[in-house]
Amino acid sequence: MDNLLFGDNQFFGVNHMSEEKARAQQMQFQNTSAIIDVLDAAYEEGVKTFMCTTHDRISEICDHVRANPAKYEGFQFYPCMPYAHKYNNAVTEHGMLGALNQFLPDDGLFKTALKGGMAVAKKDVEGLATILIDMEMKMFKGLSTPVIFLQNVVVDLLLGMGFYDAFKIFHDHVRAKYNAEAAYITMNMPMLLDALESVGIENPIICSNINKIGFRMCGGFDKYVETLRDRKVRAIAMSVFASGALKPDEAIKWVSELPNLKSICFGASSRRNIRSTRELVDKYFPVPAAV
């Protein structure tokens, strides 16, 4: 795993500071070519892992990378699934079964759809989950996806419900079918680590908010630091700058001194910001971690 991962929030109008800024970014990246320009800049600055949602527009990026293999040598995707808004809005509009029906394959994959229908009938969540994972992974076919994430909205929903077996289902399927490492994004890192260990997932890759001011570190700042220090976990820090509340230099310096931190995930809209983050990481957190 690289010590610096490039995230995609800025491309899709997600900004935890300001709706105005989010909208401006949405306009900036309306055309996929603008996203590709920034990804190219990241690649040239040595940031070669793209941690991205399974948003429809990511499939265009996938097509582009597939079409230019020489240009993107060593470029990796870390898919984060599912793209929750897609499902969220569909459930509002169609109800839960209706939404499920909508997302199950119906274009000639009759057998798979039937399997899905039967899965519901038998309450076979495992069968259903693996179909949905496969649907989300389609766009990455032929590309390098060594780590696959389950998104925080789903992780934290399952975590609160106590549905820990789902983490194991995800873990096993991602390993068996994609030869990849399963990873989890959460807003409740210490609690998630307990849950993962309880179903036999050891030393997991967990991406969570980790920043000097404790913004969205649920369970408590001290508990996070204690967990990183005392437990077996491969941590990825996101929201390191706390949505702009922290100065980049002090933010990176602080986070780089934490034990068990393997990587930092960040978003940027310009080459200048990518370069300055790269330089800070080289300065404070230079050793690439082995997965």
Partner 1 sequence: MIKLGVVGLGKMGLSHFSIVNAHPDTKVTVCDATGFVVDGLVKYTKVNAYKDFDDLLEKEPLDAVMIVTPSKMHAGMVRKALEKGLHVFCEKPFCLDWKDSEELTKLAEEKGLVSQVGYHYRYVGAFQEMKRVVDSGALGEITHVLAEAYGPVVLRPKGSTWRTQRAEGGGCLYDYAAHAINLVNWYFGEPSGVSGTVLNSIFSADTDDEVYSTLLYPSGMSAHLSVNWSDESQRKMSTRITMTGTNGRMYADRQECQLYLREPVAALPEYQKGWNVRYTTDLTKEVNFYLRGEEYSAQIDDFVKAIIQKRVNTNNTFREAAATDKTIAMIIADKDRSPSNSRATPVVAATKKGWFSRK
Binding-site ranges for partner 1 (CB under 8 A): 12-19, 22, 26, 85, 88-89, 91-98, 106, 120, 123, 125, 153, 156-163, 165-166, 187-188, 191, 213-216, 218-220, 242-245
CB nearer to partner 1: give 215 or 254: 215
CB nearer to partner 1: give 76 or 130: 130
Cα 168 from chain centroid (whole Å): 17
Question: Are the beta carbons of 172 and 178 closer than 8 angstroms?
Answer: no
Token output for 257? 């001194």
Min separation Cβ 120 and partner 1, Å? 6
What distance separates the 2 farthest-apart alpha carbons in the chain? 56
Between strands 261-266 and 234-238, the pairing is parallel
Min separation Cβ 45 and partner 1, Å? 27
SS3 134: helix
Question: Are the beta carbons of 116 and 128 closer than 8 angstroms?
Answer: yes
Min separation Cβ 47 and partner 1, Å? 25
Token output for 121? 């009938």
CB nearer to partner 1: give 220 or 259: 220
3-state helix, strand, coil in the chain (%, to 5): 55, 15, 30
Min separation Cβ 271 and partner 1, Å? 26
What end-to-end distance do the CA atoms of the chain give, in Å? 5
Min separation Cβ 179 and partner 1, Å? 26
CB nearer to partner 1: give 14 or 289: 14
CB nearer to partner 1: give 220 or 288: 220
Cis amide linkage into residue 248, ω under 30° from 0: no
Min separation Cβ 89 and partner 1, Å? 6
CB nearer to partner 1: give 79 or 219: 219
**Euclidean distance between CA atoms 38 and 265, whole angstroms:** 15
